[in-house]
Amino acid sequence: MDYLEKLMDYRLKGYCCSQMLLQLGLDDQKKENKDLINAMKGLCGGLCSGKLCGALSGGACLLSYYDPEKGALELVPQLVGWFEETFESCDCATLLKGNEGRQGEVCENLVVMTYEKVRALLEENA
């Protein structure tokens, strides 16, 4: 199953961007953690307020999940810099502006690209 198939499955389960990102990471480790996925719901929709994108905050959480020390201190700032440079904003409402009716497509793209960047950062800094 590729990323897009997984994301479609997650969306059917009602997952948002931050939950999808963490679930991809758990899937890679062949782990389940329903409590963690439930906790990630607080990051949905830009902290439930259109603010910080859940794909970015989920990516930061995933980096810290994989590497609690280096992830938070070194890799998260790199992820944020990449995200801002790539998407020109970290703000959920700004990222979705002009994409009404296409939120699922936009968010899935953000999740996939952010997940791939998280994996690249982890590989580069292993």
Position 103 confidence tier, pLDDT thresholds 50, 70, 90: confident
Is the pLDDT confidence value at 24 over 90?
yes
| Nearest C-alpha neighbor of 108 from the set 16, 2, 13 | 16
The pLDDT of residue 1: 59
Alpha-carbon 125 to chain mean position: 19
The pLDDT assigned to 118 comes to: 97
**Percentage of the chain exceeding pLDDT 70:** 99
